[in-house]
Structure 1
Amino acid sequence: MKSALLIPAAVLALAGCSKPAPQPAAATAPASAESFPAPSVKDVPAGEYKTDPMHSSLTFKVFHMGFSHYTARFGKFDATLQLDPAHPEAARLTATVDPQSLELNSPPKGFHDDLMGQTWFDAKAHPQMTFTSTKIEKTGDNTAKVTGDLSLKGVTKPVTLDVVFNGGYPGMQMDPHARIGFTATGTLNRADFGMGFGIPAPGSSMGVGGLVDFTIDTEMTGPALKTGG
């Protein structure tokens, strides 16, 4: 959030147009979680939680030429979550993403620089993407919709994340701080943020789709384990 959120999302431009990417289904817990006890946010203490960068990722996909969903990621992002387990709907999340940390698969020479230019991220003028939650709505015991303001390339628009609480604990001897984990998914239209270049004309598949699907998987560390004494 600021990871779990989260944030964000971005796009990369490879040219032209494409069929719109399908809207993603609501986030669900990883299949591997089925073998573990049901998580409860009540298992963790109240307080401030921050992104553990070693165990967090922010990836996104855009539909390319009607052939595949091109996938890339941002390597540098951070989030802060103020959480009261008794009132999770009152949590506050803020997040930042460094657009310069965009990581691409085998990019052509100069392609990363092009994406940082004015047509795309305009990273010199806008060195950060930010997300600030404005509403959290519980949709289940461990799921919620988190709506917030995403600022990208000087434009601020509301974006909603489907968030799953994967689990947490108050800390242990080898890891003496509380730890929580989330998966968040969402979709944005890049044209809404001034990145409309290359979106296909109706009926065409030559280019890159306007919808950007993104996924945030994050672990966050929080208050230190309380010990007796």
Structure 2
Amino acid sequence: MKSILPVVALLAVAACSPQPAADKKADAPVVAAPAATAPKPPKADVPAGAYTLDKSHATLVFRVSHLGFSNYTAAFADFDAKLNFDQNNAAASTLEATINPRSLTLPAPPEGFLAELVGPQWLNTATYPVITFKSTKVETTGPDTGKVTGDLTLHGVTKPVVLDVTYNGGYPGHPMDPHARIGFSAKGAFKRSDFGIAYGVPAPGTTMGVSDEVLVTIEAEFSGPPLAKAPAAAAAPKP
């Protein structure tokens, strides 16, 4: 707001100043310098420790190219994660996540389509009822960004996958939420054929099928240690 005040004042002075006569050449217009970008507020100092996923504020979405015409989008509704987090020492942080592949949700699936995707040709959830991810390395790439490398176990195969992560900040607690809270956005990609799910992959040089590459997008909030000075519970009224 402060950065715009000089511009407003300049316009007000110009409006009140005598205007040049019609036969006189007006002075060149004054161009205000662009306002400086306001600095970001410092991030709260959240405590290090164990954090659990707030499932009410988390989504796990994936996309695959369908015939090259669209990015078909689906999600898993049932997943969990445990995070040991240290804001001041990201490399010491660890993450473990589990996904229930039977919780696959699709946009308006045709009859029988969901059963096909969890069946033997695709996820084969009867044989492989869980998907897991366990971090092996956490590194920072910027003030609020990093990479999390981990072992993804999908369809009975374990391979390394890298997630590009943005730390959205957090707080040590709040009177209405007396636990530390942090949030992240993450993206990653892998080839499903690397995990033994090659059905429908297009022939080389074509897009006739479902892409081998799977794009993953994650939004997640975690709840952590209790607020150091949590508000005391209200005393029960005396009878």
TM-score higher than 0.5 here? Answer: yes
* CA pair 140-97 structure 1, distance change in 2 beyond 3 A: same
* In structure 1, distance between residues paired with 2:191 and 2:47: 36
Q: Which has the larger Rg?
A: 2
C-alpha deviation, 1:202, in angstroms: 1.5
Structure 2 gaps, min length 5: 1-36, 233-239
| Equivalent position of 2:90 in the other structure | 88
Q: Which residue of 1 aligns with 2:7?
A: none
How many residues are paired up? 195
CA gap 1:39/1:63 in 2 versus in 1, 3 angstroms: farther
Secondary structure (helix, strand or coil) at the match of 2:143 reads coil
Partner of 1:189: 191
In the TM superposition, structure 1's runs of 4+ consecutive aligned residues that sit over 2 Å from their partners are: 34-40
Equivalent AA in structure 2 for residue 147 of structure 1:
T
Distance between the aligned counterparts of 1:106 and 1:49, measured in 2?
A: 35
Q: Deviations over 1:40-74 (max 9, x none)?
A: 3x621011111111110000110111101001111
1:214 partner SS: strand
Kindly report which structure 2 residues correspond to 1:209-220, keeping only aligned pairs within 5 A, or say none: 209-220=211-222
Tell me the distance in 2 between the aligned counterparts of 1:187 and 1:97: 16
TM-score, normalization: structure 2? 0.78
What letter corresponds to residue 160 of structure 2 in structure 1? P
Match of 1:155 in 2: 157
**2: distance between equivalents of 1:226 and 1:63?**
48
Percent identity of the aligned residues?
A: 52
The equivalent of 1:207 in structure 2 is 209
**Which stretch of the first structure deviates more once superposed, 111-120 or 157-166?**
111-120
Determine the C-alpha separation between the residues in 1 that align with 2:72 and 2:138: 30
TM norm structure 1: 0.81
Aligned pairs for 1:26-175 (under 5 A) are 37-38=40-41, 40=43, 43-175=45-177
| 3-state DSSP of counterpart to 1:191 | helix
Residue identity in the other structure for 1:131: F
Structure 1 gap segments, 5+ residues each: 1-33
